[in-house]
Structure 1
Amino acid sequence: MASNPPKLKIEITSNERLKTLKEQFEARFGESPLFYACAPGRVNLIGEHIDYCGYSVLPMAIEQNILAAVSVNSLGTIQLANTNPQYQDFKVPCSEEIVIDREDPKWYYYFLCGVKGIQVRCVGGLCCGFMKQSLNILQFCILICFSILQERFGIARLAGMSCVVDGTIPPSSGLSSSSALVCCSGLLTMEANHKSLSKVALAEICAKSERYIGTEGGGMDQSISFLAEKGTAKLIEFQPLRATDVKLPEGAVFVISNCCVEMNKAASSHYNIRVVECRIATKMLAQARGLDPRGLLKLSQVQTELKASLEEMLVLVDEVLHPELYSREEICKVLDITSEQLCTELLSANTQHGG
């Protein structure tokens, strides 16, 4: 696991992006930012759609990132602006309960996922603030610094925050722009409220907090955003979360192409359908082998309980599951549950009405 590096400083005048962001912040709020926070996007090299099944993945961070300039205000509000004019400003009083509209996933709701996750679930570690001078932007993105504390805390009332967000990750392109925004928000909320968190704990919290907007992710995106290091991919393993360096070949070049067709995970059920299908399969496989399916939600848990190899799991899948579509009635009959239990225990909010 990567160590917790010291706080970093940036030379604003030598970085055009930061200089522009600082100027836009000052024009918007009439003061200079107190600190900056940043979270990179990612590309996954090996292991598509298996993190939510509990299996390991091999992503790496990319230079494209979400960057935010932040100050703490005395107005008792969270004030958000975006350098991209297509994203509207937003303001909410800190005294109000944070409400995230899953039916209308605006950009600022992803930001509020990070805020709410920190407010509700904050546990251990020191969040780093990036003050007004420092290193280059890639180091700034990746070397997020924390030191570990032991105490558990919550935030009864959030500090007022003024933020201008700038993103270079193409939206809805499969490079984790939404998760990077959640991570950046979680990071800056920690710093603004003078709280502490380790990189691992913050990754776990941000993975859970993105579910506020309805995305049933497995944690890969948030983990690599916080645990990435320059020059290496990471083998990300779960239960418990840990990351191991995977050295990239000298001279290797990775080309990422963008078809420019946007897919908003929270605005559709496509992503969550795959998640709940794997969840249902987990229950069926467990039941077929005499395991108690209660508490088992991931395929890796069944494999662990059975002490089976991957090859044996493939045989089990072929034996137990048929390739044709399952109806609700068939699922309920196989699992011996009611339709209401299927909805409340296995389906997500945006997959309730599937066939």
Structure 2
Amino acid sequence: MSALDDVRRAFTAAHGHEPDGIFSAPGRVNLIGEHTDHNEGHVLPFAIDRRTWVAVARRTDGTVTVCSSDPGTQPVSTTVGALDEATGWAAYPLGTVWALGEAGVAPSGWDLVVHGEVPLGAGLSSSAALESAVALAVAECSGADLDRFALAAAGRRAENDVVGAPVGIMDQAASLLCREGSALLLDCRSMATEDVALGLEDADLGILVIDSRVRHDLADGGYADRRAACVAAAAALGVPALRDADLAAVEGLGDDVLRRRARHVVTEQARVHEVVGLLRAGRPAEVGPVLSASQASLRDDFAVSVPEVDALVTAAEDAGALGARIVGGGFGGSVLALVRRASLDDVAVACRAVPGDPGPTVREVAPAPGARRDL
């Protein structure tokens, strides 16, 4: 049985009738450009072939319900007027419905049933997949005239204002806008986008995502501390955001922590453009060393890697990966490794052998299409 069948049957069992529609949105991996999004810089994510589905039906009584196929979650029922008071896992979908209302979507009741296959807490943006699927579902079933950037903004606002995680817009934009086979070059200031072909198949390359199974929560303090440091560094440099800073000025900062945080952002911004140039030139294998440089910067300057992740990066590269780095907000989560297809099994075996409790899991991911209506 497919995930589409699963969520359709779950909705019918819960509500006694067919949904008005079923929508899905993917998780994402950011190829390069980590922590540049909240500094108004450039990022290069791609959607992955792991998705979250939402079955939806409109109600007329102002009640909004949400339940999940995950047995660890409890169904939640609330009213349109109390959506922004949601807590726990339900804050993501209910916060998105609230944010859509703030964006002009007419208030209405909804029944939502969720089925997710994006691993939680693994740096693959399971939250953005959920928000994006809900945003597309509610907007389309409301007949709202919102473009996909507006839907992405609603997901981001849900996470910022209801969940309490100060994330940028990259994850939601990737989930809603990416195209199969391509990464999305996103300017997080102007919101200009460009599809950049990855060329993995032609170059006989694959991408592994190695989940350390060290979990994180972006609503905790580490991510917020890094973001605050970036804001402080930009203020010290007299620029609107760190995308406007130059490396020489950054090196002149007197505060060691601010200097290292800003240095990561400025050099990572440059790495995004280096990778885009390599991909446009049809040289994707040469992206590997740039990924490794990003890992060193995230570990040493931005200080968001952890020993378990560092061990996986080393294992992957020692087994033949062309490059590897932590992805996502940090403090755990997953490693992305660029690997020649002939070495995929060797890298996977080496990473699974890295000690952990529980041990790491390894998945090959492919660049997939963004959010869509499935039924």
Q: Map 1:53-132 onto structure 2 (within 5 A).
A: 53-94=39-80, 96-100=81-85, 105-122=87-104
Is 2:3–2:53's contact at 8 Å kept on the other side of the alignment?
Answer: no
1:206, distance to aligned residue in structure 2 (A)? 2.4
Is 1:47–1:57's contact at 8 Å kept on the other side of the alignment?
Answer: yes
Q: Write out per-residue CA displacement over residues 197-253 of structure 1, whole angstroms, 9 at most, x where no aligned residue.
A: 111232233223321122211211011111100111111112211221111122321
Q: What is the SS of the residue equivalent to 1:272?
A: helix
- Structure 1 partner of 2:174: 224
| 2:218 alignment partner, one of 256, 265, 274 | 265
Is 1:60–1:228's contact at 8 Å kept on the other side of the alignment?
Answer: yes
Q: So what's the TM-score if we normalise by structure 2? A: 0.65
Is 2:120–2:126's contact at 8 Å kept on the other side of the alignment?
Answer: yes
| 1:278 alignment partner, one of 220, 230, 236 | 230
Sequence identity, in percent? 29
Residues 265 and 226 of structure 1, relative CA distance in 2, 3 Å threshold: same
- Structure 2 partner of 1:346: none
Q: Which has the higher helix share?
A: 2
Q: What is the SS of the residue equivalent to 2:23?
A: strand
Q: What is the SS of the residue equivalent to 1:320?
A: coil
Moved more, 229-238 or 189-198: 189-198
1:39, distance to aligned residue in structure 2 (A)? 1.2
AA aligned opposite 1:114: T
Q: What is the SS of the residue equivalent to 2:53?
A: strand
Q: Which has the higher strand share?
A: 2
| 2:254 alignment partner, one of 317, 321, 334 | 321
- Structure 2 partner of 1:299: 242
AA aligned opposite 2:242: L
Residues 64 and 76 of structure 1, relative CA distance in 2, 3 Å threshold: same
Q: What is the SS of the residue equivalent to 2:210?
A: coil
For the pair 1:16 / 2:16, whether they are aligned, the reply is: no
Residues 323 and 191 of structure 1, relative CA distance in 2, 3 Å threshold: same
AA aligned opposite 2:174: I
RMSD value over aligned CA atoms? 1.9
AA aligned opposite 2:84: V
**Structure 2: distance between partners of 1:259 and 1:238:** 28
Is 1:37–1:188's contact at 8 Å kept on the other side of the alignment?
Answer: yes
**Structure 2: distance between partners of 1:22 and 1:216:** 33
Is 2:73–2:89's contact at 8 Å kept on the other side of the alignment?
Answer: yes
AA aligned opposite 1:98: L
Task: State how many pairs are aligned.
Answer: 255
| 1:252 alignment partner, one of 200, 205, 209 | 205
Is 1:72–1:162's contact at 8 Å kept on the other side of the alignment?
Answer: yes
Residues 179 and 321 of structure 1, relative CA distance in 2, 3 Å threshold: farther
Q: Write out per-residue CA displacement over residues 301-320 of structure 1, whole angstroms, 9 at most, x where no aligned residue.
A: x44xxxxxxxxx11111112
- Structure 2 partner of 1:139: none
Q: Write out per-residue CA displacement over residues 52-73 of structure 1, whole angstroms, 9 at most, x where no aligned residue.
A: 0011011100011111111112
**Structure 1: distance between partners of 2:221 and 2:45:** 24
**Structure 2: distance between partners of 1:188 and 1:27:** 20
Is 1:237–1:243's contact at 8 Å kept on the other side of the alignment?
Answer: yes
AA aligned opposite 2:249: L
Larger Rg belongs to = 1
Q: So what's the TM-score if we normalise by structure 1? A: 0.68
**Structure 1: distance between partners of 2:172 and 2:257:** 34
**Structure 1: distance between partners of 2:9 and 2:82:** 31
Residues 187 and 71 of structure 1, relative CA distance in 2, 3 Å threshold: same
5+ residue gaps, structure 2, are: 260-375
